[in-house]
A and B are shown apart, each in its own frame.
Chain A
Amino acid sequence: MNGPQDIGGKQGLGTVPYEPDEPVFHSEWERRVFGLSFCSWLSSGVTVDESRWMQATMPYERYYGSLYYERWLYSLERLMVEKGVATQEELERGASLADPALPVVEPSELAAVVVGLAKNGIKRERPAPAPGFEVGQTVRAKVINPSGYDRLPTYLRGRRGAVDCSYGGFVHPEDLAAGRLEEPGANCYRVRFSASELWGESAENPEDSVCIDLFENYLEQP
């Protein structure tokens, strides 16, 4: 979806706002949203891609008018409703009106589980069919315009690049965003696009390039 999140190459956004000696969190509410999100994703079986997708569907004015952790908060509220954990009325009251399904993680074990996740991560490698593209091959990013979740930025669509590396299979983020955790893996490639292919005469330097990791369904033979 070429929603508000898909902003690679957009202009008119001003200078990069640098803050010297920036703290990890700016205020208590940001800390709580971070901690609460991390816990609730885990205990409700929410994937990071589901949260990304929820943010991509935010109205433009809300996406750009929100601070980073406000977007997390929006996403968490909506996901808890979508997952059947809470109702809109409960969100407004801040109190439970009905018992939801049991959480995926026993609350008494949650602290240990979230810390374990931060330390150990979660591997998404998954066997995939034989790769359809080879290292060194010229490929084109497909021209697509899906209304659902995707990880092919608009600025690459229709552009030619070269396969730089073939990573093998991973769970496809489109599956993760839809909560389909058991699908077969999909091949992922690193593709290098020259700056002049992407930006034409406006490229800062024709020798520059952009490398990006793209799944097989986003690529075709040119």
Chain B
Amino acid sequence: MSLDHDHVHAEHGHPWSPPSELEARVRALESLLIEKGRATPEAIDAIIGKYETEIGPLLGAGVVARAWADEEFRRRLLDDADAVLGELELSGFEAEHVKVVECTPSEHHIVVCTLCSCYPWALLGLPPGWYKSPAYRARAVSEPRAVMAEFGLVLEDGVRVTVWDSSADIRYLVLPLRPEGTEGWSEERLAELVTRDSMIGVSRPLEPEAAAA
């Protein structure tokens, strides 16, 4: 078991080292629950692997890129995301019901969960530390513009902000504005511009020159 003493943990933002007592507790619980038939090493590894290698933001990026490239798909996605995502087999755990919210030149969207960390797992994978942090959960509803500014996103005058506080069964995915200068691009190229953070609404997609670099 590796100990990473040096990194700065995203959730609290200060140098952090896991107490060995914590690791001991995890080992004890794992042994106990395997002994009691509540978990198996195979099942634990299988589910970790699923979220480390398969279920992640590339899935959501593919959906966004297709919506940019295909008008009919975009219209259906905004109208009935569950039907569209079901066809694509993306209606998995913690994204059983999804609403896609589209940024326009006059409205910007940003997603949070103030009560816990609800997040569209099946489209974006497990949420990043900052999304789960008390600071983000507390501030995204009361000062979304200040939060976005910390991410480097300052909206033009006249753009209103809608904050989506995920509190029940519906999960939210932001469809960002398509970057200018991408006319005629394939879905694959477009997908490279779609970042996880742009699908949460705290930043814009990459610019075309950034992807070319």
Contact = CB atoms under 8 A, between A and B. Distances in A.
Q: Taking chain B's interface residues, is the majority helix, strand, or loop, or is none over half, making it mixed?
A: mixed
A15 B135 contact: yes
Contact of B160 (A6, A125, A207): A207
Contact of A31 (B48, B139, B145): B48
B169 A188 contact: yes
A26 B9 contact: yes
B51 interface: yes
A68 to B, nearest CB: 5
Contact of B163 (A113, A151, A207, A209): A209
Given A27-B2, A96-B32, A103-B38, A7 B138 contact: yes
A15 B9 contact: no
A77 B29 contact: yes
A133 interface: no
Classify chain A's interface size.
Answer: 35 or more
Most chain B CB neighbours (cut-off 10 Å) among A19, A27, A188: A27
Contacts, number: 299
B52 interface: yes
Interface of A: 5-11, 13-19, 22, 24-29, 31-36, 38-40, 43-44, 52, 55, 64, 67-68, 70, 73, 76-77, 80, 85-86, 90-96, 99-100, 102-103, 107-108, 110-111, 113-115, 117-125, 151, 153, 155, 167, 170, 173, 188, 190, 192, 195, 198-199, 202, 204-205, 207-215
Interface string B161-173: 1111111111000
Given A39-B40, A208-B163, A210-B162, 5 more contacts: A9-B141, A35-B45, A125-B169, A153-B167, A204-B143
B135 A14 contact: yes
A44 B38 CA distance: 7
